[in-house]
Amino acid sequence: QVQLVESGGGLVQAEDSLRLSCTTSGRTFGTYAMGWFRQAPGKEREFVAGISWSGSITSYADSVKGRFTISRDNAKNTVYLQMNSLKPEDTAVYYCAAGQAPPFVVRTTPSRYDYWGQGTQVTVSS
């Protein structure tokens, strides 16, 4: 069993930055592909960013490319999402997810992830 705990959300103004963190339990963090998803009220959960367990492959939704950066520190069992130039449309609950995958594969669909965090709220005011 893997447990994920997100932190770092909050209320910010447009163009501000936030860094989300997701710390996992368990000794196999280094073999899980990690992803960030978000869900706004009345909308489906959508992929934001993903990283392979090797850390060498990343993928981003078009809406966040150039503004968000995903990274991981396997020694700390933690994955990060650096969010810059935030926009009001980035407002959502952000979820961290972990899923088994080969070392150079990024998962982009929720069904490919096995474990989820409880979510952290990000609110961007205009």
CA distance 73 to 55: 8
Residue 49 confidence (pLDDT): 98
CA distance 23 to 78: 4
pLDDT category at 31 given cuts 50, 70, 90 is confident
Strand order in the sheet with 78-83: 4-7, 18-24, 78-83, 68-73
Residue type, 57: I
Q: Which of 7-16, 26-35, 44-53 has the lowest mean pLDDT?
A: 26-35
Residue 30 confidence (pLDDT): 77
- Is the separation of the CB atoms in 80 and 55 below 8 Å? no
Residue 109 phi, psi dihedral angles, 5° rounding? -110, 140
pLDDT above 70 (res 74): yes
